[in-house]
Amino acid sequence: MRILTSLLMLAAWPLSAQETPTSSSGKRVAITIDDLPCAHCAEGTWRQVTDDILSTLKAHRVPAIGFVNEGKLYREGLLDSARFQLLERWLEAGMELGNHTFAHRGATRTTVAEFEEDVVKGEQLLRPLMEQHGRTLRYFRHPFLQTGATPHRRDTLNALLGELGYTIAPVTFDNDEYIYAFCYEHAKRAKDDSLMHALVEGYQTYMSKSVLFHEAEAGSFFGRDIAHILLIHANTLNATQLDGLLTWFGQEGYSFITLEEALKDPCYQLPEATTPYGFSWIRRWQLAAGNKPPWPPEIQPEVQQRYDALRK
């Protein structure tokens, strides 16, 4: 009944920002946004997407962190100053930035040396930029959430990242929102308003189901509310829908916290299963404990088919 009520609430996401209610239930979530400065964004829209996301975060008083792919800062091998300035806008807005590698290469299909090269290359501009703003580059997000397919590989990569001064940014509220976003971007370029509307509705329902699923799985496993970490991406769809998503979180009783605060929850010290895939940490903890958890909600079949066709 609660999930149904939440879905009905989500169907009426507001169109303008509201101040997020203060949580009285102890439910907390850190908002993390990957693939900065912009994921699959059309030329000429990168700044607008950035400004829309940042203005929404500030309106909801959300202390978010964005994870950067430095490779996106270049065009034809040359640094694009306008794209680089988008990272400065994140810092000027009071947000934090983290390393998401240069070229977004996953750990499963790269050697340790290749992975290290991509990590180090991904901080060449980011680290001095953070220092110029009086900040320290301290967080790393694995591309595709691939942390190492075997214990030895994972531990080797963890040691490498530790030597570079990084804290790994896990995810509990994982999802495949990027599939809706990719289709939405193409629908927008085609000026297909009907399809854009349908994708927004599908995204809203899917995100609600995904969050409530992982919340329930964590509650069952731990017997309490944990400090969650949400993963979404810097894309056109989230630029338009983030206000509604954050408002919905507030209606669900969540308060917004920093990644640093979230990682103080002892749940993040638990053993986690290794996998070549990008599972939520909730699933990793469950598998490490010998459980066989259910699979999370799936993307609508017609959206998945559209995404697959566009990718070809």
DSSP category for residue 223: S
Longest distance between any two alpha carbons in the chain, whole Å: 54
Handedness of CA 238, 209, 245, 188 (dihedral sign): positive
Handedness of CA 117, 161, 267, 66 (dihedral sign): negative
Are 208 and 248 in contact by the 8 Å Cβ rule? The answer is yes
Q: What percent of the chain has pLDDT over 70?
A: 92
For residue 139, tell me if it sits in a domain: yes
DSSP category for residue 70: G
Q: Answer yes or no: is pLDDT of 1 > 50.
A: no
pLDDT in tens, 111-153: 999 999 999 999 999 999 999 999 999 999 999 999 999 999 9
Which whole number is the average pLDDT over 229-233? 98
CA distances from 167 to 50, 74, 231, 262 (A): 25, 26, 16, 13
Are 95 and 66 in contact by the 8 Å Cβ rule? The answer is yes
CATH classification at residue 166: 3.20.20.370
How many structural domains compose the chain? 1
Which whole number is the average pLDDT over 173-180? 98
For residue 266, tell me if it sits in a domain: yes
DSSP category for residue 138: -
For residue 183, tell me if it sits in a domain: no
Are 149 and 275 in contact by the 8 Å Cβ rule? The answer is yes
Cα(224)–Cα(266) distance, integer angstroms: 12
For residue 88, tell me if it sits in a domain: yes
pLDDT in tens, 29-86: 999 999 999 999 999 999 999 999 999 999 999 999 999 999 999 999 999 999 999 9
For residue 207, tell me if it sits in a domain: no
Which whole number is the average pLDDT over 164-186? 98
Residue 123 token pair = 């901080």
List, in order, residues 6 or more apart from 92 with CB less than 8 Å away.
Answer: 133
Q: Can you give the residue range of the structural domain that contains 130?
A: 21-175+226-279
Pairing of strands 139-140, 65-68: unpaired
Are 189 and 297 in contact by the 8 Å Cβ rule? The answer is no
Distance of CA 55 to the CA centre of its chain: 18
For residue 56, tell me if it sits in a domain: yes
Q: Answer yes or no: is pLDDT of 190 > 80.
A: yes
**What's the pTM value of the predicted model, to 2 decimals?**
0.93
Q: How confident is the model at residue 13 (pLDDT cuts 50, 70, 90)?
A: low
Q: Answer yes or no: is pLDDT of 18 > 70.
A: no
DSSP category for residue 146: -
For residue 220, tell me if it sits in a domain: no
Q: Which amino acid is at 297?
A: P
Angle, CA 295 vertex, CA 170 and CA 234 arms, to 5°: 45
Handedness of CA 33, 274, 172, 293 (dihedral sign): positive
Which whole number is the average pLDDT over 246-256? 98
Computed over every residue of the chain, the mean pLDDT equals 93
Q: Answer yes or no: is pLDDT of 89 > 60.
A: yes
Helix (H) or strand (E) holding 127: helix 126-132
